[in-house]
Amino acid sequence: MKAKSAFLAAVGMLGLLGAAAPAHAAYVIDITQSGSDVVAAGSGTWHFQPLSFQGFAMPLQVGINPAAGYFGAGSIDTYGDYYGPVSGPTSFGSGGFTAASSTSGSSAGVSGATGQIIIPGGYADSAATVAGLTVWNNATIASLGLNPGTYVWNWADDSLTLNIQGGGAGAVPEPSTWAFMLTGFAFVGLAMRRRSAVRTTVRYA
């Protein structure tokens, strides 16, 4: 019963941690392997007012260039606005530019080498955006030259997060993930310790 109580307490603690974990970024892009394709899903809002307008691209170059820290996506807007400076990695792999096979949603992206984010043309600060989905057909994380991991660009009180999932050694778990793991290990250890302390007494009539 004590072991069961410890397990239930662990589950409850993990639930509280999940509820208390804050969102790390206003805009998040997740790149994953989906069958024979690579898919990038982006969603969120942009708080860009602390940044300076640094130009625009018409049309926006839709694709990925890991060596230059570039990601560009979206089909709704006719162009993308560049804002900066932002602080973050200048690359997230060794691959060159590869155009996407298809894209949808609002314009979104980053140019790590130049320290800029890419937002929808004429975008109103913190306004809603249309979630994007960009696909590279018949490609893999490795063939695109991507290094799996979590990459973050920060400015003022906002940020952009790019998650590249590939199961490689370079993947960096989010702080909230570490919290879940460490708490789970602690409670499992406690339950095992209490269980090992239970002694069975045999009585003969």
DSSP code string of 149-184: EEEEEEETTEEEEEEE-S--TT----HHHHHHHHHH
Predicted local confidence at residue 83, as pLDDT: 98
CA–CA separation, 84 vs 98, rounded Å? Answer: 24
Residue 103 has pLDDT above 90, yes or no: yes
* 20-32: pLDDT as tens digits: 434 434 899 999 9
CA–CA separation, 147 vs 166, rounded Å? Answer: 8
CA atoms within 13 A on the CB side of 117: 30
| Prior bond of 85 cis (ω within 30°) | yes
What average pLDDT does the structure give for the chain? 80
Query: What is the mean predicted confidence (pLDDT) over 114-139?
Result: 96
Q: Which of 39, 37, 105, 29 is nearest to 70 (CA)?
A: 29
